[in-house]
Amino acid sequence: MRLTLSLILLLSCLVGATAIGISSESRPKVVGDFSNFIENSVLDPLVNASFERSISFSGLFRVKEGELLQLLPTEASNFTWNLFPERVLSSTRTLPWIKEINLTRCHWYSTGCFEIQVDEFAPRFVVDVSGQQWIVSREGVFVTPAQGEKGGEDLPVVSGVELRSGSFDLMRSRMGHVAEVLEVFETASGEPVRELTIGENGEFTVALRRLDLTVVVGQSYSKSTEEIRAQASRLKLLLARLGEGSDALAKVDLGFSRVGVATLKADASLVDGSASGG
């Protein structure tokens, strides 16, 4: 009887152990399948959605999309892009042509669609600083060295003693005024400027791009632009009156009230060395 009872207990233990073994082997499989389901069906789409995005750009002329993409934190989540746009754009502001840059969502409900609007500096002229030519914007900002910059050769070149000294703020103020003077002169005269040279006393001369002609403006560039506009208007009237004869001019001095004094080229056919400007 004792032997029979022992066999029964042994069989019971073996059956129990087998049941436990089967249960232990089966449970990870069930849990693993459920975990994979959650990961593949729920977590992966959420993770992918938080990093997948489309980006469009506007306002680009000199700045290239590739330059911006290299500086954008593409590894950051859309959560960061939505809540911290200034942090996202911080590195892009190191590009010299960037005047202003903004990041917005394509739509108010968008989470992974973004628009980047760029406002670039507009180049106005080239100035020599310690032997290196720099492109200066309409606001008087030194943007970037002119060497290798496309279109830099088409900008007016400015030189003069007053541009070589002073504090940074003073230099920027001067650059901004030079840009304004160029704008006023070109608009009033109708003539694009190739070079502008500022003299010792602030008076300036310009070399025109269309004509082989130097114009002396008897007015300090630092004074009222209205006086500069008046002199440039006299130049426009003088050139209009001369018509094709303008090609015979070598130099025009506008420093006289209501009169433009013209110097002719050596081989010019005209004999009158002066002309009334109005």
Structure confidence at residue 222 as a pLDDT band (50, 70, 90): low
* Domains of the chain by residue range: 51-120, 123-276
- Least confident piece of the model among 26-40, 68-82, 148-162, 254-268: 26-40
Q: What is the mean pLDDT of residues 77-94?
A: 95
Q: State how far the Cα of 265 lies from the Cα of 218, in Å rounded to an integer.
A: 21
DSSP string, 165-190: SS-HHHHHHHHHHHHHHHHHHHHHH-
Q: Which residue has the tokens 């160029």?
A: 182
123-276 folds as Rossmann fold (3.40.50)
Residue 103 forms beta bridges with which residues? 116
Q: What is the pLDDT of residue 221?
A: 65
- How long is the chain? 278
166, pLDDT greater than 80: no
- Cα R_g (the chain), whole angstroms: 38
Domain 123-276 in the same topology as domain 51-120: no
List of residues 6+ apart from 59 with CB closer than 8 A:
117, 118, 119, 120
Q: Would you state the torsion angle of the CA atoms of residues 87, 92, 94, 99, taken in this order, to the nearest 10 degrees?
A: -100
pLDDT: which is higher, 156 or 166: 156
- Residue 218, SS3 per DSSP: strand
Handedness of CA 168, 170, 174, 179 (dihedral sign): positive
In degrees and rounded to multiples of 5, residue 122 shows phi and psi of -95, 120
The conformational region for residue 63 under phi > 0 = left, psi -120 to 50 = alpha, else beta, is beta
Task: Considering only residues 257 and 34, tell me which one the structure prediction assigns the higher pLDDT.
Answer: 257
Q: Which residues contact 104 (CB under 8 A, 6 or more apart)?
A: 85, 114, 115, 117
CATH number attached to the domain at 51-120: 3.10.20.310
Q: Which residue has the higher pLDDT, 40 or 244?
A: 244
Q: Which residue has the higher pLDDT, 258 or 108?
A: 108
Q: Residue 122 gets which letter from DSSP?
A: P
pLDDT above 50: residue 245: yes
